[in-house]
């Protein structure tokens, strides 16, 4: 069944039909006209060109404002429930590109409160994970002068008054319909969406004028921002503008990389041997035997290795399609592709892990309002 899938901030399951999801959520496609318009400001990022970031809300308005000189604030975030993996990194890498091309400030929210409420974790756990995750974010090179990291429980005095304003506009009925809550949901989880809305409105609140906000993130976050967007006009804030990406796939072939599948997940702290082992076991579009594959060719469309190249590890379009063609013709075998991907991931991680260590030197200065990290 084509619509037998679930995409919410807390559950992504089934085979996602991204076209149908766009219809369900009522978001607009990232089309050629939009790409051309973005292209006026800088070279189009591969994730846009290839439809990884594929759907949006109000990007046209955002660019109108930007071109009139009304700069937006960039906002994305992370729920610190475990170590960072490549699935988390993908939209952050894109956000870094947006910051560079449009030269805009960035707010990065770490929802330690959310993960405490929704997971079997203590607040100490989620705060400590927030630091680990933030190191990966900072390592990507966001401008320390223009980027602030919000940690919910540490910056709650700033977020709470805005969250209250949002909360006053949102009924349980709405929360139930949007998130699928029921009578057994805890009352913190019900309230939480207002905290995720708050950073989108923070620049407007602080500057006392309508500051546009762009939120590039996974499409699973749309329920939160539908609520935030509905509440915005009544509070005198502009509706946050959304730019959504597809989920980063797991190596096992699933639609979303997830820590529940340890072997299908590459963490930013993995060593070369971990990567080799994990990529070695990846789901591909290969045949049952070398002979059959040489004869009939493989299927890159279902191949996790190909998806990794597509999303993150091969920015050259012609090389990407050349490899896919050679796969279809049986000219290249899975072992070879896996070996190339392993090298690429390891090269990326080696460099990233160095930057991650250096991030420790600048991360304190990026804490919103100068809060102190739990580094232990």
* Whole-number Å distance between alpha carbons of 125 and 113: 11
Instruction: Rule CB under 8 A: choose which of 55, 84, 193, 204 binds its own copies.
Output: 193
b/e map of 347-376 (b: 16 or more CB within 10 Å)?
Answer: ebbeebbeebeebeeebeebbbeeeebbee
Going by C-beta distance under 8 Å and a sequence separation of 6 or more, which residues neighbour residue 162?
197, 198, 201, 202, 205
The yes or no reply on residue 123 touching its own copies (CB under 8 A) is yes
Task: Report, in Å, the least distance between residue 77 CB and its own copies.
Answer: 17
Assess 161 for contact with its own copies (CB under 8 A). yes
Kindly state the tokens that stand for 127. 């705060």
How far is CA 335 from each of CA 14, 128, 253, 307, 308, rounded to the nearest angstrom?
A: 28, 38, 16, 16, 15
> Does residue 190 interact with its own copies by CB under 8 A?
yes
Candidates 32, 182, 262, 372; binder of its own copies (CB under 8 A) is: 182
Give the one residue of 24, 36, 168, 319 binding its own copies; rule: CB under 8 A: 168
From residue 373, how far is each of 128, 158, 188, 340 by CA, in Å?
8, 17, 23, 38
Among 35, 164, 296, 347, binds its own copies (CB under 8 A): 164
Cβ distance to its own copies smaller for residue 53 or 201:
201
Nearer of residues 113 and 270 to its own copies, judged by Cβ: 113
Indicate whether 125 belongs to the interface with its own copies (CB under 8 A): no
Task: Tell me which residues in 91-120 interact with its own copies (CB under 8 A).
Answer: 113, 116-117
DSSP label of 124? H
Residue 174 C-beta: closest distance to its own copies, Å: 8
Output 65 or 152, the one with its CB closest to its own copies. 152
User: How far is Cα 366 from Cα 130, in angstroms, rounded to an integer?
Assistant: 13
Total binding residues toward its own copies, as defined by CB under 8 A: 35
167 binds its own copies (CB under 8 A): yes
């Amino acid at each position: 069944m084509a619509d037998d899938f679930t995409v919410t901030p807390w559950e992504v399951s089934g085979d996602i039909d991204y076209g149908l999801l766009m219809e369900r959520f009522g978001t607009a496609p990232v089309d050629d006209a939009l790409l051309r318009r973005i292209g006026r400001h800088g070279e189009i990022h591969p994730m846009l060109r290839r439809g990884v970031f594929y759907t949006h809300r109000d990007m046209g308005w955002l660019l109108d404002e930007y071109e009139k000189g009304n700069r937006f604030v960039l906002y994305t975030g992370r729920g610190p429930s475990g170590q960072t993996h490549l699935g988390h990194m993908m939209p952050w890498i894109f956000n870094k590109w947006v910051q560079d091309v449009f030269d805009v400030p960035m707010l990065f929210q770490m929802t330690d409160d959310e993960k405490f409420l929704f997971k079997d974790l203590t607040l100490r756990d989620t705060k400590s994970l927030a630091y680990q995750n933030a190191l990966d974010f900072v390592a990507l090179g966001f401008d320390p002068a223009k980027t602030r990291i919000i940690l919910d429980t540490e910056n709650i005095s700033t977020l709470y008054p805005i969250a209250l304003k949002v909360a006053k506009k949102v009924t349980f009925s709405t929360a139930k319909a949007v998130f699928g809550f029921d009578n057994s949901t805890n009352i913190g989880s019900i309230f939480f969406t207002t905290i995720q809305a708050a950073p989108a409105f923070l620049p407007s609140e602080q500057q006392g004028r309508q500051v546009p906000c762009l939120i590039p993130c996974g499409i699973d976050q749309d329920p939160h921002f539908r609520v935030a967007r509905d509440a915005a006009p009544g509070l005198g804030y502009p509706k946050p503008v959304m730019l959504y990406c597809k989920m980063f796939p797991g190596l096992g072939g699933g639609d979303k990389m997830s820590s529940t599948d340890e072997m299908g997940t590459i963490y930013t702290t993995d060593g070369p041997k971990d990567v080799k082992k994990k990529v070695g076991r990846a789901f591909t579009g290969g045949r049952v035997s070398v002979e059959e594959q040489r004869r009939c060719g493989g299927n890159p469309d279902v191949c996790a290795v190909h998806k990794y190249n597509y999303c993150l590890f091969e920015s050259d379009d012609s090389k990407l399609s050349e490899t896919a063609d050679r796969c279809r013709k049986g000219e290249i075998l899975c072992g070879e592709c896996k070996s190339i991907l392993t090298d690429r991931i390891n090269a990326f991680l080696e460099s990233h892990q160095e930057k991650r260590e250096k991030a420790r030197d600048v991360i304190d200065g990026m804490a919103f309002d100068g809060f102190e990290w739990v580094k232990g």
